[in-house]
Amino acid sequence: MKILVLNGPNLNLLGTREPQIYGTTTLADIERDLEAAAAELGVTVECVQTNHEGVLIDRIQAAHGDANGIIINAGAYSHTSLAIRDALAAVAMPYAEVHLSNIFAREPERRHSTLAAGARAVLCGFGAPGYVLALRGLVAALRA
């Protein structure tokens, strides 16, 4: 089983970007934790980060037939991108949406996600451990 992990804009700056909101864990740390959890679960993960909406869409489309599920933190695109939502719907693959902060306790423009309605689950507010929680939950759902 393969899970694609997609990270959107500015997540490459984790660890230094607004640590009071996003913590001090880096994206490399998160990816290392995901790899360890994937090995424990007997699955593989492929991690991709990009600041470009079109690259996220291309990778979602390419996942069809290549991956069994997606974990996505689309960053600010979560609140604005109908195109990413449409790509996820088009591949009809289970996905979990992850956010480091609790988006519902943030600014009004961050309290809505265009991706949430189609997601198997939405995890927000757990910080970096939310990714591993999403992986464990998604793998369990796919195995059920």
Alpha helices in 4-112 (DSSP H): 19-22, 27-41, 53-63, 82-91
- So what's the pLDDT on residue 111? 86
Which pLDDT band, with edges at 50, 70 and 90, does 100 fall under? very high
- So what's the pLDDT on residue 105? 87
- Please identify which of the residues 22, 77, 95, 131 carries the catalytic annotation: 22
- So what's the pLDDT on residue 109? 83
- So what's the pLDDT on residue 127? 96
Q: Are 84 and 115 in contact (CB under 8 A)?
A: yes
> What does pLDDT average to over the chain?
96
Which pLDDT band, with edges at 50, 70 and 90, does 107 fall under? confident
- So what's the pLDDT on residue 60? 98
* Total Cβ atoms within 10 A of residue 142: 15
Nearest C-alpha neighbor of 1 from the set 34, 59, 46, 42: 42
* Active-site residue, 64 included: no
Q: In the predicted model, what is the mean pLDDT of residues 47-72? A: 98
Q: Is the pLDDT of residue 10 over 90?
A: yes
* Active-site residue, 131 included: no
**Contacts of residue 141, Cβ cutoff 8 Å, sequence gap at least 6:** 69, 94, 120, 121
- Please identify which of the residues 77, 95, 99, 131 carries the catalytic annotation: 99
Q: Is the pLDDT of residue 129 over 90?
A: yes
Which pLDDT band, with edges at 50, 70 and 90, does 62 fall under? very high
- Looking at 7-11, 19-23, 41-45, 69-73, which range is the least confident one? 19-23
Q: In the predicted model, what is the mean pLDDT of residues 75-93? A: 97
